[in-house]
């Protein structure tokens, strides 16, 4: 287990093959989180994001969420516009509903 802050990842540039995150809703600065993921991933590396369904999909933000969205696909689109290539998206229902999305960096 590694403890840290996803706004300031402790790994050197281009040294990580895969980053998995199921807590994007707790990011205080989404742009900083995505920048850090891009920074540490090797070329061809993968970012796997577990994105909860949003308000328009029947899921409301709880008291601990720092950011929220209308639809999981909206956030996936934002990540894509931030320099990630969407490889695949798959819906899931347990323990909540949302999308597992695999992104790559070139």
Domain ranges of the chain: 16-104
Return mean pLDDT, the chain.
Answer: 96
β-sheet with 16-21: strand ranges across: 16-21, 41-52, 98-104, 85-92
pLDDT of res. 58? 95
Q: List Cα–Cα distances, 75 to 14, 27, 31, 51, in angstroms.
A: 24, 13, 12, 8
pTM over 0.85: yes
Residues 48-77, mean pLDDT to the nearest whole number:
97
Report percent pLDDT > 90 for the chain. Answer: 95
- pLDDT band of residue 46 (cuts 50, 70, 90) is very high
Q: Is the pLDDT of residue 2 over 90?
A: no
Cα angle 99, 86, 11; round to 5: 90
Give the DSSP H or E segment for 88.
strand 85-92
- pLDDT band of residue 1 (cuts 50, 70, 90) is confident
What CATH architecture does domain 16-104 belong to?
3-Layer(aba) Sandwich (3.40)
pLDDT in tens, 34-45: 999 999 999 999
């Amino acid at each position: 287990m590694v403890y840290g802050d996803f706004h300031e990842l402790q790994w050197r540039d281009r040294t990580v093959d895969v980053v998995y995150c199921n807590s994007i809703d707790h990011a205080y600065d989404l742009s900083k989180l995505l920048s850090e993921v891009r920074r540490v991933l090797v070329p061809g590396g993968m970012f796997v994001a577990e994105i909860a369904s949003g308000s328009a999909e029947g899921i409301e933000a709880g008291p601990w969420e720092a950011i929220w969205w209308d639809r999981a696909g909206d956030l996936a689109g934002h990540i894509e516009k931030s320099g990630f290539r969407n490889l695949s998206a798959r819906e899931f229902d347990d323990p909540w509903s949302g999308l597992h999305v695999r992104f790559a960096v070139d």
